[in-house]
């Protein structure tokens, strides 16, 4: 049987992983991968790159490309999304606009007022994508990489009318890097964790092939490692992570720059500066010019990064094609983390909440693994964010300004109702073209 897979946002860095995954799986021989991007130049460049990958892996898949969304989606079995409008320019505004009103965010991609604005834009974009899927490929699976993941998956669950899964490599990828930082191989540490996307808490950890928990050994290694005691150039920062561990006794998986999006109340901005932590606003300003972009690209993707030692190690592969293969062959597949509906996996979070948990692809669906309860403080932090996800998803679908104000006022970064109103109105003015439902 041949399959049709669409890659929406084909100019993104995720496309190569999808192409390689389809080439490696025998079940996809004779299938078609349709690359779709609104930018013809990026699309042409991506098509050339993917064809080289197909040739290198002796893949038996057909590649086509289009700028037309409906054409790409027509009759699809799977739709992979990694798409976004004006990512860098808008991200800068997501940080700059709240700063005018006294809210300084270090990152603002998934949490904080910037994360909310990001969510409103991308939910609005996905409203069109999902409407097209309902019309031309209603049985297809939507497999999403686009951030802010928890907001988008909340929208998919509530209003999209499509089958959807959220893929993020934070838990899986960062635990591979962390294993390497501790002198192990990627994949040597197997974890059970739970939380929301980019705010995930370690519940248990074991060495591969053993039945014994190694939590005590792991935390002892973390506490002794210099990587957690001071920040180093081009190494993921985890000084705040260690401080959080010492305060609350639980390890938050990921790196400082992601978890701080939800936890602004532990470090003041000046402490981050003393630690040498670069804010996202400063990094994006450095990225503004063409010369700066090239320099930053060399910094981020060159060989100067010590971890991972081998970015092509199979452990770090993205997982959508593995899930597609599991569905096609009905072969169970265990996944370290997936962004799915809770359904009781985390006992003390709402059943319908979107969470980031281990899961199994089996029986034509992805089903969460039972994690148990989170500590009270971890559950409370997640619960507030879950409420914000629900409120922003609902407000965006209905163009409800007051609903956005309420979500802004609930955000930990915001300290004043008037501040919430001013930030909301400034976002809605600036993004008027992207959020027309708020201006009807």
Token pair for 372: 């148990």
Distance CA 295, CA 285 (A): 13
Q: Is residue 409 part of a domain?
A: yes
The residue-averaged pLDDT of 83-88 equals 95
Q: Is the pLDDT of residue 302 over 70?
A: no
The residue-averaged pLDDT of 180-209 equals 96
What's residue 234's pLDDT?
86
Distances (CA, A) of 395 to 103, 127, 128, 168, 350: 22, 13, 17, 25, 20
Q: Tokens 């990627």 appear where?
A: 186
What's residue 1's pLDDT?
84
- Report how many domains make up the chain: 1
* Distance from the Cα of residue 266 to its chain's centroid: 23
What's residue 269's pLDDT?
82
* Distance from the Cα of residue 436 to its chain's centroid: 25
Q: What is the DSSP string of 43-72?
A: HHHHHHHHHHHHHHTT---EEEEES-HHHH
For position 439, which CATH number holds? 3.90.1820.10
Q: Are 182 and 226 in contact (CB under 8 A)?
A: no
Q: Are 384 and 412 in contact (CB under 8 A)?
A: yes
pLDDT grade, residue 362 (50/70/90)?
Answer: very high
Q: Is residue 227 part of a domain?
A: yes
Q: Could you report how far apart the first and last alpha carbons of the chain are, in Å? A: 47
For 201, the 3-state DSSP assignment is strand
Q: Report which of residues 340 and 304 the model is more confident about.
A: 340
Distances (CA, A) of 262 to 36, 89, 115, 251: 33, 22, 10, 15
Q: Are 124 and 272 in contact (CB under 8 A)?
A: no
pLDDT tens-digit series, residues 59-78: 999 999 999 999 999 999 99
Q: Is residue 250 part of a domain?
A: yes
Q: Are 142 and 81 in contact (CB under 8 A)?
A: yes
Return the H-helix or E-strand segment holding 358. strand 354-362
Using the Cα atoms of residue 184, residue 172, residue 357 and residue 88 in order, give the sign of their dihedral: positive
Distance CA 345, CA 193 (A): 11
What's residue 276's pLDDT?
81
Q: Is the pLDDT of residue 51 over 60?
A: yes
Q: Are 319 and 349 in contact (CB under 8 A)?
A: no
What's residue 313's pLDDT?
93
Distance CA 20, CA 317 (A): 9
Strand partners, 202: 193
Contacts of 249 (CB under 8 A, 6+ apart): 375
Distance CA 410, CA 403 (A): 11
For 258, the 3-state DSSP assignment is helix
Closest listed residue to residue 84, CA positions, set 13, 163, 150: 13
Token pair for 10: 């084909």
Q: Is residue 134 part of a domain?
A: no
Which ranges in 186-319 belong to alpha helices (H)?
215-224, 239-248, 256-259, 269-274, 280-286, 290-301
Distance CA 368, CA 381 (A): 21
Token pair for 260: 């701080």
What's residue 303's pLDDT?
43
For the chain, what is the mean pLDDT?
94
Q: Which domain holds residue 285?
A: 91-108+168-440
What's residue 10's pLDDT?
98
Q: Is residue 243 part of a domain?
A: yes
Q: Are 200 and 252 in contact (CB under 8 A)?
A: yes
Q: Are 254 and 191 in contact (CB under 8 A)?
A: no
Q: Is residue 44 part of a domain?
A: no
Q: Strand 189-196 relative to strand 199-207: parallel, antiparallel, unpaired?
A: antiparallel
What's residue 292's pLDDT?
53
Q: Is the pLDDT of residue 185 over 60?
A: yes
**Percentage of the chain modeled with pLDDT above 90:** 87
Q: Is residue 66 part of a domain?
A: no
Distance CA 149, CA 82 (A): 11
Distance CA 74, CA 1 (A): 17
What's residue 301's pLDDT?
46
Cis ω for the linkage preceding 218 (within 30 of 0):
no
* Distance from the Cα of residue 282 to its chain's centroid: 22
pLDDT tens-digit series, residues 254-266: 899 899 999 998 9
- Residue length, the chain? 440
Q: Is the pLDDT of residue 283 over 90?
A: no
pLDDT tens-digit series, residues 198-243: 999 999 999 999 989 999 999 999 999 999 999 888 899 999 999 9
Strand partners, 204: 192
Q: pTM of the predicted model, to two decimals?
A: 0.95
Contacts of 195 (CB under 8 A, 6+ apart): 201, 252, 346, 355, 356, 374, 378, 382
pLDDT tens-digit series, residues 147-178: 999 999 999 999 999 999 999 999 999 999 99
Q: Is residue 59 part of a domain?
A: no
What's residue 295's pLDDT?
55
Q: Is the pLDDT of residue 380 over 70?
A: yes
**Percentage of the chain modeled with pLDDT above 70:** 96
Strand partners, 201: 194, 252
């Amino acid at each position: 049987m041949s399959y049709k897979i669409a890659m929406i946002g084909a100019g993104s860095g995720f496309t190569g992983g999808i192409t390689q995954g389809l080439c490696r799986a025998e079940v996809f021989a004779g299938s078609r991968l349709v690359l779709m991007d609104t930018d013809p130049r990026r699309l042409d460049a991506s098509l050339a790159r993917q064809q080289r990958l197909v040739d290198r892996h002796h893949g038996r898949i057909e590649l086509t490309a289009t700028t037309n969304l409906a054409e790409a989606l027509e009759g699809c079995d799977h739709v992979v999304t990694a798409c976004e409008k004006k990512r860098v320019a808008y991200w800068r505004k997501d940080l700059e606009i709240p700063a005018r009103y006294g809210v300084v965010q270090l990152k603002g991609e998934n949490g904080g007022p910037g994360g909310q604005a990001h969510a409103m834009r991308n939910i609005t974009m996905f409203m069109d994508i999902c409407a097209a899927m309902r019309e031309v490929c209603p049985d297809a699976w939507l497999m999403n990489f686009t951030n802010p993941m928890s907001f988008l998956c909340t929208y998919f669950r509530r209003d999209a009318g499509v089958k959807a899964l959220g893929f993020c490599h934070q838990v899986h990828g960062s635990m591979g890097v962390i294993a390497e930082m501790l002198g192990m191989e990627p994949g040597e540490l197997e974890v059970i964790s739970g939380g929301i996307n980019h705010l995930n808490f370690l519940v248990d950890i074991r060495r591969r092939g053993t039945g014994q928990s190694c939590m005590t050994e792991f935390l002892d290694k973390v506490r002794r490692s210099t990587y957690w005691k001071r920040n180093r150039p081009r190494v993921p920062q985890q000084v705040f992570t260690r401080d959080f561990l010492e305060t609350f006794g639980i390890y938050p998986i990921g790196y400082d720059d992601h978890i701080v999006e939800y936890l602004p109340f532990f470090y003041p901005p000046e402490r981050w500066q003393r630690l040498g932590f670069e804010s996202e606003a400063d990094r994006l300003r450095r990225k503004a010019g063409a010369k700066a972009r090239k320099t930053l690209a060399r910094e981020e993707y060159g060989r100067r990064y010590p971890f991972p030692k081998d970015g092509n190690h199979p452990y770090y592969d993205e997982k959508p094609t593995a899930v597609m293969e599991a569905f096609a062959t009905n072969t169970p597949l265990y996944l370290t983390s997936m962004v799915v509906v809770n359904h009781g996996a985390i006992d003390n979070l709402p059943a319908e909440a979107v969470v980031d948990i281990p899961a199994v692809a089996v029986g034509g669906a992805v089903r969460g693994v039972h994690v148990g309860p989170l500590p009270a403080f971890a559950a409370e932090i997640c619960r507030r964010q879950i409420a914000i996800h629900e409120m922003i998803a609902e407000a965006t679908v209905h163009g409800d300004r007051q609903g956005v104000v309420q979500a802004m006022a609930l955000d930990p970064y915001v300290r004043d109702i008037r501040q919430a109103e001013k930030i909301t109105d400034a976002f809605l003015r600036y993004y008027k073209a992207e959020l027309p439902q708020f201006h009807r």
